A and B are shown apart, each in its own frame.
Chain A
Amino acid sequence: MTDVVTTTGLTKKYGRRTALTDCTIGIPAGHVVGLVGPNGAGKSTLLQLACGLLAPTAGAIEVLGRVPASGSARVGFVAQDTPVYSGLTVGEHLRLGAHLNPGWDASIAEGRIAELGLDPVQRAGKLSGGQRAQLALTLAIAKRPELLLLDEPVAALDPLARREFLQGLMAYAAENGTSVVMSSHLVADLERVCDYLIVLVGSRVRIAGEVDELLGTHHRLSGARRDPATLGPGRHVVAASHTDVQSTMVVRSTAPIDDPSWSVDGIDLEDLVLAYMSEAGANGRDRVLEKR
């Protein structure tokens, strides 16, 4: 299967601050991809590079086989906080969309607006947060893009509006086979809708892969306290914590771990993400622990 997004050594600096460091990934088509990480990790930067709003400082990015250009008809982008023009009505947004996009599908746009119960003469500034997000999504998908990029689309929404947004998004993806990349720090939502995950921490990609494969190759080990370095080859310790008698670790290993001195459990997506988020500071913490 072809990749919808390919990056090699992709780096973006704002002045002296590095927002994205040496990012090399390939995102296969036909997935709903979750881009997860703490605030300031580089999620928005990566999405804006992918839709051509930013140019890389170093490295390269290709989206649908081309260097991304802002305003591409093949890519739909919904920026953070789902911006709309508050002075324009819902109907005027649709007309604007039709005017700006050659491949505009008016039946999708109008169908969704009717389904959502939005009044076409309502000003966007008067819509609720959930309705505004749905309008922004409608504008993005009525372009019939091959790839949808969504930056924190549901972060500001209440649980019901969040669920309704994801229902609409999944229905569209199912019907059209559109690839979706969405950033979020709500791992519970990502767990439902994503089948591919990218964890970004401190401007670097910590891990990327299919969710099933990630869950199958990560294990939680607990047992008597010991040095993580003694685990053996092929086993990458993602996170480790120790008490005076016990060690608990999250370990990545493609081969099953059948060491009887450990109790081995599976791990859910949320714990997996948290393990990678804490990995950044883990070395420092280990050193503190060894001093004691």
Chain B
Amino acid sequence: MLLRGTDRAAFAVAFVARLRRAGLRVGITETDDLVRALAVSPPTSRTVLYWTARVSLVRRHDDLAVFDRVFATVFDDTPPLPLSRSALPPKSRENSVHVAVPGTGGETATEGEGLPWATLPAAVAADDESADDGLGLPELQPSALAALADVPFEELDQAQTEALGAALRAALTHWPQRRGRRHRTDPAGRRVALRPTIARARRTGWEAITVVRERPVPRPRRVVMLCDVSESMRAQAAAYLQLMRAFTTVADAEVFAFATRLTRLTVPLRHTSTREAIDQAGAAVDDRFGGTRIAGNITALLDSHHGDTVRGGVVIVASDGWDSDPPEAMAAAMARLRRRAYRVLWLNPRAGTPGWTPKVGGMAAALPFCDRLLPAATFTDLTEAVHHLRDLSRPASFRSSPAR
């Protein structure tokens, strides 16, 4: 028998405190469950104690790893291991260091390090026009935004990117919809709503004179966005992150970043503070600016338990199509994605360049499975892309070009 003579409540509270320090959200209810569970199931061995504590304290699969580690630290005589989650408070990140990003042309000025995401201005480009007003403007006026909208991402600084991100969020007023299975009373509806009809009949001596009708409530389609954060997409990553944040804060969306492996950013990007959200997302992605495995990551998404989120949704892939996986793998992955999703949009930062053709192997292989290939080099492009979402909810005959 373990813990003989221990105050169960004191033990549970102390253990929960350990878990909470490790970043697990364990509340009073769970603690209470553990105390009661220990009463009905006395810990006769370490395994029994483990299962008792795990069943009563852990409520989600993602927390199991942390729980196991804390449990091992407490009950094995091993030295404490560094905890991965929340070990570094995101606030401790240095925000003010700017990285100069190689532009599309020849200028490659790299100085400093540590920004979680790429943004910044090639110093050269910023010099000539914004030398005097660069840092002085705390807030951008609409006219300034309009001027920035057509500037390529690599020439924007962080504040400008954030301001445009906010503008993007405001532009997201139309969301693709589908017919839902819930109904709402509506005079134009087709179905008779029995419950309100009978309730109404009460006024007329239970004679159902007014027939109340109902119709299905449209539901927003889920938008799933996959953003390439590899080296070749360095300049665009920050702007795309703003778009992803706009999606997560406005409605039902799942967003992922990938370079060599897939990272889910839906939760970090939902943070109320933009700066904090972007920082947390930056901390979550540890493979940025590496190589790219687009096909591998799309397959990973479809195979994971998030694979079902794609079903019936609008998928947006933001990438330049440079893929280290073979084009056949890309075609297979995109075919699977296409079968599962409602629409697939591809945002390519190079697509707006005059004379551009999808020659890159990955892009050429993916193209037959995309409903639209949209340019995405400036914020005007992104706003356009957002407007395309609205078009998607219209019947096929109203769209400018056939979907398949």
Tell me whether A and B are bound partners. Answer: no
